Structure 1
Amino acid sequence: MARMSAEERRESVIRAAMHEFARGGYHGTSTESIAKRVGVSQPYLFRLFPNKQAIFLAASERCLRDTRELFAGAVEGLHGEEAQQAIANAYTRLITEDPDKLQMQLQMYVAVAAAEAAGDREFGKVVRAGWMELWDTAHLPLGGDPRETTTFMAYGMLINVLAAMGFPFDHRVWEGFYPEARTTGRLEM
């Protein structure tokens, strides 16, 4: 079996970190658990990343990039209502099929809020920049209207909260988003 390059190992660490941070958050996840998941030593982990914060930010960037690429792929050639439905459906599939992506997003927001409360504005810089790229990816296909984009993203954040709280998709709380979900059991617009 061929040895992994440092870049391949780095990718393995980012994937493992996304899973571990999604489950335990920034403060509740040890670098030891990440190293163990990848099958490397902690000293090797710190040859790839200078510290835990760098690992968390790399996992955050990856999570936001994956979501942004999902949005971009979903809206290719679409605009307005069609783009909105395509993004909503693609995102709904993502958070139902890969719950780590949703949990990682929520953990990012918690970690940034905690850092901000402690006076650290630098920690959130990467997450804010990635979120703005996500916003921009949706903005033009949705019509370039800031109010439309705000409403769309606000609904997305509410969907994150409801899904994270574990409301089953046939629960009445989803009815305003997806009236058909109660009868089909699927969240598709």
Structure 2
Amino acid sequence: MARMSAEERRESVVRAAMAEFARGGYHGTSTESIAKRVGVSQPYLFRLFPGKRAIFLAAAEQCVEDIHRVFAEAAEGVEGEEALHAMGEAYHRMVSEHPERLMMQMQMFLAVAAAEQEGDHEFGEAVRAGWMRLWDTVHLPLGADVGETTTFMAYGMLINCLVAMGFPPEHRVWAGMESAEGGEGGSGNGS
């Protein structure tokens, strides 16, 4: 079995960190659990990253990049209503197939809120920059329409909340999503 390069090991740490932070949040996840998941020692982990905060931010950046890629690929070559539905369906598929990305998003929002309450505004800047990148990725295929982009992102956040709370696809709370698909501003994200 070939040895991993430092960059490959770093990538595996970021993926492991995403799974651990998704499960336990920023404050509830130890660097020891991340190191254990990836199969490295804590000292090695800190040779790759200066600390837990850097690991979390790298995991957050990867999470946003994964979502950005899903939206960009889904919207390639389409725009307007077609892009809206393609991105919505791709996002729903991603959330279903990779729930750790959804939970990592939720943990990112909580970590930023906690940091802001403690007066740490720098922590949130990186996460907000990622969010703005997602906004821009969605905004252009939707015709640069602020209302459409806002509606799409709002439906996405509702999906995040419903999935995070464990509502099964057949639950009645999803009915509004299904009816929104045919109406104006519907994202097509519903199950």
Q: CA deviation at 1:151?
A: 1.2
Corresponding residue for residue 26 of structure 1 = 26
Distance 2:113 2:190 in 1: 32
RMSD over aligned CA atoms reads 1.5
> 5+ residue gaps in structure 1?
180-186
> What letter corresponds to residue 37 of structure 1 in structure 2?
R
Corresponding residue for residue 54 of structure 2 = 54
Corresponding residue for residue 146 of structure 2 = 146
> What letter corresponds to residue 93 of structure 1 in structure 2?
R
Q: CA deviation at 1:188?
A: 6.0
| 2:86 is aligned with 1:86 | yes
Deviations 1:29-50 (A, max 9, x none): 0000000001100000000000
Corresponding residue for residue 186 of structure 2 = none
Q: CA deviation at 1:70?
A: 0.5
> What letter corresponds to residue 48 of structure 1 in structure 2?
L
Distance 1:172 1:188 in 2: 12
Deviations 1:126-173 (A, max 9, x none): 110011000000001011011111111011101110111111101111
Distance 1:168 1:70 in 2: 23
| 2:96 is aligned with 1:75 | no
Q: Secondary structure at the match of 2:70?
A: helix
Distance 2:86 2:178 in 1: 14
Give the paired residue count.
184
Distance 1:27 1:188 in 2: 32
> What letter corresponds to residue 110 of structure 2 in structure 1?
V
TM-score, reference length from structure 1: 0.94
Q: Secondary structure at the match of 2:177?
A: coil
Distance 1:170 1:162 in 2: 12
Q: CA deviation at 1:25?
A: 0.2
Q: CA deviation at 1:176?
A: 1.2
Distance 1:87 1:105 in 2: 17
Q: CA deviation at 1:97?
A: 0.9
Distance 2:74 2:151 in 1: 19
Distance 2:78 2:117 in 1: 40
Q: Secondary structure at the match of 1:20?
A: helix
Distance 1:164 1:72 in 2: 24
> Which segments of structure 1 move beyond 6 Å, counting only runs of 4 or more?
none
Q: CA deviation at 1:52?
A: 0.1
- Paired-residue identity, %: 71
- Partners of 2:68 and 2:134 within 8 A in 1: yes
Corresponding residue for residue 162 of structure 2 = 162
Corresponding residue for residue 103 of structure 1 = 103
- After alignment, is 141-150 or 61-70 more displaced? 141-150
> What letter corresponds to residue 105 of structure 2 in structure 1?
Q
Q: Secondary structure at the match of 1:123?
A: helix
> 5+ residue gaps in structure 2?
180-188
> What letter corresponds to residue 36 of structure 1 in structure 2?
K
Corresponding residue for residue 182 of structure 1 = none
